[in-house]
Amino acid sequence: MKPLRQIGLLLLCLVGLSAAAADWVLIKDKNDIRVYSQQKADFPLKHFKGETRINRSADNLLSALQDTKTCPEWVHNCLSNQMVDMINIRTRIYHTVIDSPLWLKSRDFYLQSRIVYDPKERTFTIKFESKPNYGKEMDGMTRITDVEMMWRLQAVSKDATAVSYHVYIDPKLPFKSINHALIKKSVFKTLQGLKELVKDPKYGETKYSKAELEMLTEGD
């Protein structure tokens, strides 16, 4: 029985180590913005997420996120962001161009977004998945094919929102450490930029109606 018991203990230890490896690790905490990283199995690069609280309503924040023309003003390294197709009220296609460090080519990618509202949690969730073949590759740019994002806006009061921003992206830059440093900085700077953007009074005027929220709510 001892060998079986030892094998069982070993398996438990391995499971524990695997779970620990998948935990989010806090890597930056500054100005009420926390950035975490996580190394998942079968992914060459780490996943990142940023969390903060913004003293604006979730409606205000969603309005700002959907104002695509302002992307270069607050999304770190964003050169342009355009909605190229609106499939339905919840689903859209975006084309984004981002700057790259030093002499490297700019990067571009296509994302399909899907927004869902959860009335019980008072939360907007916007998930983005890569659509690398949506449009032809552009001269002078490197197409990013592996990217996923998610924004989560949870109302904690009438005028305050808990914001969570998740990113996995392979910018195709040399050296893993350069990719990780760039993404970490981008997550922090983007949340910092969003805090400044929503101070614009035009976003404060946004209030989604019950009918609009119902269109974004998934049925049981």
pLDDT digits (tens, 9 = 90+) for 172-191: 888 888 889 999 999 999 99
pLDDT of res. 175 = 84
The predicted-structure confidence for 157-173, as pLDDT tens digits, reads as follows 999 999 999 999 998 88
Identify the weakest region by mean pLDDT among 13-17, 115-119, 124-128.
Answer: 13-17
Residue 6, pLDDT above cutoff 70: no
pLDDT of res. 15 = 47
pLDDT, averaged across the chain: 90
Outline where 68-121 has alpha helix (H). Answer: 71-74
Q: Total structural domains in the chain?
A: 1
Residue 151 inside a domain? The answer is yes
Torsion angle, CA of 29/111/88/216, rounded to 10 degrees?
A: -20
Torsion angle, CA of 203/186/35/55, rounded to 10 degrees?
A: -10
This prediction's pTM: 0.87
Residue 24, pLDDT above cutoff 90: yes
Q: Work out the number of other CB atoms within 10 angstroms of the CB of residue 118.
A: 15
pLDDT of res. 173 = 82
Residue 15 inside a domain? The answer is no
Residue 9 inside a domain? The answer is no
pLDDT of res. 101 = 77
Residue 1 inside a domain? The answer is no
pLDDT of res. 82 = 96
User: For position 79, which CATH number holds?
Assistant: 3.30.530.20
Residue 156 inside a domain? The answer is yes
Nearest to 23 by CA among 45, 11, 12, 39: 39
Residue 3, pLDDT above cutoff 90: no
Q: What percent of the chain has pLDDT over 70?
A: 89
pLDDT of res. 172 = 86
- The pLDDT-based confidence of 17 (bands split at 50, 70, 90) is very low
pLDDT of res. 5 = 53
Which residue range(s) make up the domain with 69?
A: 24-215
CB 188 within 8 A of CB 163: no
Residue 20, pLDDT above cutoff 50: no
Residue 19, pLDDT above cutoff 70: no
Residue 13, pLDDT above cutoff 60: no
Residue 202, pLDDT above cutoff 70: yes
